[in-house]
Amino acid sequence: MGPLNLENLQKEAIAEVLESYPEKVSKNRAKHLGVDSPETSKGACDTSRSNKQTVPGVMSQRGCAYAGSKGVVWGPVKDMIHISHGPIGCGQYSRAGRRNYYIGTTGIDTFVTMNFSTDFTEKDIVFGGDKKLKVALEEIDTLFPLNNGITIQSECPIGLIGDDIQAVAKKYKSESSKPTIAVSCEGFRGVSQSLGHHIANDMIRDEIMPDDSARKDFQSTPYDVAIVGDYNIGGDAWSSRILLEEMGLRVIAQWSGDATYKEMAIAPKAKLNLLHCYRSMNYIARHMEQEFGVPWIEYNFFGPTKTTESLRKIAAMFDETIQAKTEEVIAKYTAMTDEVIAKYRPKLEGKTVMLYVGGLRPRHVIGAYEDLGMEVIGTGYEFGHGDDYKRTKEDIARSTLIYDDVNEYELEAFVKKLKPDLVASGVKEKYVFQKMGLPFRQMHSWDYSGPYHGYDAFAIFAKDMDLAMNSPVWSHTKAPWDTEEKGA
C-alpha cells in the first residue's frame, strides 16, 4: 500500500467511527483520534487529546489509580507486603497477573504474587476501617516477620468514608520502626492508571527517599546506575541489567520489578538514573534530580536498533572505558541479532501491525517491529499524556493512526478497515481479534513469554512474532465447504 493510500484509509477509518457515534461522543472522541507521519508537522502526536475522562458507557480498556499504584508501581517491590485495603475484589483480580518476576521465597521473605486484603464488610464501611487496618498490620508482622515494610493500597471506599489511613500508618511506623506507607490510590481518582502511578511515586518520594539509613554506609562507585521504570515482566529488567553490567556499569537498584525496599532507598546514590517507563516513573526521576542531583535519561531496549542507540546514549554519560566496553558489547550482541534478523525478517517483512498498550510500549516497541521489517500502522495509549504522544513522533516510521483511550468498538472498526497482519494489545482484546482469524500478541504480559528488553530478548521477540504470524492455526478458520471469505 502506498503511503498516501494508507493515510487516506486511516483518515477514513476515523471518519467512519465518528459518524456512527452520538454527537456528543463524536465530538469528544474526534479530539483523541488522528493520523501522523514522520513528515507531517503538527500531526496527531502533537495535537491529540489525552489523559481525559473516559466517555461513560463505552468499553474502555483503562484501569484505575489502584491498578496504577498497587498493580504497577508498588506491587512488584518484593520484600514489602502490599495490603489491598477495602473490599475483596481489587486484590483478587490483580493477583499475580502481571508477571513481575522476582527471586525469593514467597510467603517467607518475598510476597509479590500473594494477595493481602482487609476484606471490608458493611460494618467497616459504616464504622470505618482504621481499627481493622491497625490489627491487620500487627497480624502481618506476627505472621511474616521477614517483611521489610508494609504498604496500604487504598481501594475506592477508603477515600469516601473518611478513614485516616495516613495517621494509622504513621502511628504504626513509629511503633514498629518498620516502613509503613499509606497510599491513597482510590480507584475513582483521576481518569486511568496514570494518576495511580503518580500517587505511588509521590509516596516513594515522601516515605522512602527521606530514609537515608541504607545510604549512609553505601560504597559508591563512579559507575553506579539505577534502572527506573522496569517492572521485570517476564524478566525484562534482568535481560537489561546484563547489558549494563557488561558495559562496566554497576546496577544498584531496580525499580520496581524484583525490587527490594533497600534498592528503592539507595537509588539516589546512583550517578545516573535510567528511565525506561517514562509514564509511570518520570515523577520520581525528576524528584531525584531535584533533591539529590541525580540526572536521568530515557532509554529504549526494544529491538537492536533502539537498544544500540540507547547503550551509546548511556555510555556517553560515562568515560571512555565505558564507551569502549559498550562498543564491544554492541559488537558482540549485534552479531547475534543480525542472525536473528536474517532468520526472521524474510518471514515477517512488510507485515503490518497495530498496537494498543499502556505506558511506554505504544512507542517503544515500534523499533523492534521495524527491525524485523514489520510496519506499525496504528498505535495508541490507554493512559498516555501529551508528552507521551509527542515522544511517539520520533518513533513512528510511516503514516500511523493514533488513537488515545481507544475503546473496543473503535479498535475493532480500525482493525477491520486497516486490516493489519498482527494486532498487539492486551488480554481483553486478544480473543476478539483472534476470532477474526488475526494473529495477536499480548504486549502487556508478553503473552506468557519474554523477556522482551535487550538483545537476548529481541531473539525471543522475533521468535514469538514469527510464531504468531506463521502458525498454521490461522489457516484453519475457513472450512473446505465455505465459499465465502471468513475472518479478517
Partner 1 sequence: MQNVEQIVNGQKLFLKPEYQEVLNNKKEFESNMGSIDPSKVDEIAEWTKSWDYREKNLSREAITINPAKACQPLGAVMVALGFENTMPYVHGSHGCVAYFRSYFTRHFKEPTPCVSDSMSESAAVFGGLANMKDGLRNCNAMYKPDMIAVSTTCMAEVIGDDLNAFVIGAREEAQGELDDTAITYAHTPSFVGSHITGYDNMMKGILEQLNPDRAEKVLDEERINIIPGFEPYLGSLTEIKEISSMFGDKIVMLGDHEEQWNTGAGEYQLYSGGTSLADTKTAINAKATISLQKYSTTQTAKTIKNAWKQEYATANPIGLGGTDEFVMKLSELTGKPVPKELKKLRSQLVDAMQDSYPYMHGKKFAIYGDPDFLLGLVSFIVEMGGIPTHILCHNAPRKGWEDDMKKVLSKSLWADECNIWAGKDLWHLRSLLFTEPVDFLIGNVYGKELYRDTGIPLIRIGFPIFDRHHLHRYSISGYKGALNLLTWITNAVLDQLDEETKNIAQTDYFFDCVR
- Closest contact distance (angstroms) between CB of 39 and partner 1 is 34
- Tell me, yes or no, if 197 is annotated catalytic: yes
- Closest contact distance (angstroms) between CB of 283 and partner 1 is 19
Residue closer to partner 1 (CB basis): 166 or 442: 442
Residue closer to partner 1 (CB basis): 296 or 452: 452
Stated as kind and residue range, the H or E segment containing 290 is helix 278-292
Identify the three-state secondary structure at position 420. Answer: coil
Q: Sign of torsion, CA 418 424 428 430?
A: positive
Residue closer to partner 1 (CB basis): 64 or 396: 64
Place of cell 544500540: 308
- Counting every residue written for the chain, the total comes to 488
29, 98, 189, 279: the catalytic one is 98
Q: Residue 108: phi, psi to the nearest 5?
A: -115, -60
- Closest contact distance (angstroms) between CB of 196 and partner 1 is 9
Neighbours of 417 (CB within 10 A): 17
DSSP string, 131-153: HHHHHHHHHHHHH-TT---EEEE
Residue closer to partner 1 (CB basis): 38 or 104: 104
Stated as kind and residue range, the H or E segment containing 376 is strand 375-379
Cα separation, 416 vs 393, in Å, equals 24
Are 215 and 294 a contacting pair, CB within 8 Å?
no
Ranges assigned E (strand) in 189-342: 224-230, 250-256, 272-275, 296-298
Tell me the H-state helices in 296-348: 304-315, 320-348
Cα separation, 113 vs 107, in Å, equals 9
- Tell me, yes or no, if 90 is annotated catalytic: no
Grid cell in block for residue 152: 496500604
- Closest contact distance (angstroms) between CB of 64 and partner 1 is 2
Residue closer to partner 1 (CB basis): 67 or 357: 67
Which residues contact residue 64 at a Cβ distance below 8 angstroms, ignoring those fewer than 6 apart? 187, 188, 189, 192, 193, 196
- Tell me, yes or no, if 67 is annotated catalytic: yes
Residue closer to partner 1 (CB basis): 67 or 275: 67
Q: Return the half-sphere exposure (C-beta side, CA atoms, 13 A cut-off) of residue 135.
A: 6
Grid cell in block for residue 437: 482469524
- Closest contact distance (angstroms) between CB of 433 and partner 1 is 8
Which residues contact residue 434 at a Cβ distance below 8 angstroms, ignoring those fewer than 6 apart? 440
- Closest contact distance (angstroms) between CB of 310 and partner 1 is 18
44, 64, 182, 468: the catalytic one is 64
Cα separation, 155 vs 214, in Å, equals 31
- Tell me, yes or no, if 32 is annotated catalytic: no
- Closest contact distance (angstroms) between CB of 377 and partner 1 is 20
Residue closer to partner 1 (CB basis): 9 or 237: 237
Positions marked catalytic: 64, 67, 98, 197
